[in-house]
Amino acid sequence: MARKRFAFVIEDLYGGGAQKSLLYTADQLRQRGHTVKVFTLRERIEHRLPEGLDIEDLAVVTRVTKATSTVLTEKWQAARIAKALEAWRPDVVISCSCDKITRHLTHPNLYFWVKSDVSAKFSDPGKRERAFDKVRRFYRGRQVIAVSQGVKGNLEDVVGLEAERIVPIYNPYEREPFVAMADEPAPLPDGEYLLSVAAIEPRKRHDRLLRAYADSGVTTPLAIMGKGKPEHEAELRRLVAELGLSERVQLLGYHQNPYPFIRHAKAMLLTSDAEGLPRVLIEALLLHTPVISVDCPSGPKEILTQELADFLVAPDNEKGLADAIARMDQAPVTIEPRHYQQFLKETVLPQFEAL
């Protein structure tokens, strides 16, 4: 494979899975001999930065640009990005989570990395159609990387996007770093516990999780890790109390390193209304922690394959979810490498190199 120059463009390195997977992908391509640079649009960093990865802050997202967000502002920001890219001369440009700005770029090998399923994010028909229209405007005639087959299918069949091409590529992983981070000391709950790791927000459906957990009848405690807006965290605490779960549910807050908690959990639970390719499920499997998930669009169906599909439940089937929790609590599944082979870097990175 010829050596290439990859440029990644992202608003910042603060937040969830999109930022984490971008950093890992960029660094793994660098380690495979490619020249890689990450351009951020503002200097806001929460994640651990890989040693040796070139990161440049272009400082084009500021309080002023946030307050005066117009198409003219976006084009000015895009011009600054284009100037930096022209000076650096990348073969491939991958935009992530800043497409409102980068859609104004005209690089000949620009890809937009779509990480979530917009078709499942909105229940209101008006908001849903406006979101679809935005996706069609941003990506019509452009090149798109979809984080899963499910996201690709929804973009084409549900949203009606007519892109130049949509390439489905999973996020790449290797097991060893997760095992190393899982070995670090952490304030783990005492004894056995079930675990949910998700932002505290309505789309993650902690209400569904708590009701199913209450109905399951299991006595194994449930730990919930994540942060959210104060009003969403308050609603979660209220629901825990309302369901009489205060003695069995522990709210862990946010932890920069969740992996010791994931590794030692009896099982990981995911109950979202929508995902792209939920990395927390893959990371759990890499740490040989079994998983229970709703079959939301999209991604869980592509992760829980083979016999793991027995713990994939329709989103509106809370009784089935409660039953899955009870079955897993009684007889946890044994996770083996064959359950996550398709996500390992050896399988995935050559697909990025072929862009």
pLDDT tens string 141-192 = 999 999 999 999 999 999 999 999 999 999 999 999 899 999 999 999 999 9
Which residues in 130-163 are b (16+ Cβ under 10 Å) and which e? Answer: ebbeebeebbeebbbbbbbebbbbbbeeebebeb
Q: Which CATH number fits domain 175-339: 3.40.640.10, 3.30.9.10, 3.40.50.2000, 2.40.50.100?
A: 3.40.50.2000
pLDDT at 197 over 90: yes
Q: Where are the domains of the chain?
A: 5-172+344-353, 175-339
Q: What is the pLDDT of residue 10?
A: 96
Its CATH architecture, for the domain 5-172+344-353, is 3-Layer(aba) Sandwich (3.40)
Residue 108: pLDDT band with limits 50, 70, 90: very high
Burial call 234-256: b when 16+ CB within 10 Å, e when fewer:
ebbeebbeebebeebbbebeeee
Q: What is the pLDDT of residue 43?
A: 87
Percent of the chain with pLDDT over 70: 99
Is the previous residue joined to 97 through a cis bond, with omega within 30 degrees of 0? Answer: no
What pLDDT band is residue 204 in, cutting at 50, 70 and 90? Answer: very high
Q: What is the mean pLDDT of the chain?
A: 94
Residue 60 phi, psi dihedral angles, 5° rounding: -100, -5
Per-residue pLDDT, 146? 95
Q: pLDDT at residue 16 above 80? A: no
Q: Do domains 5-172+344-353 and 175-339 have the same CATH topology?
A: yes
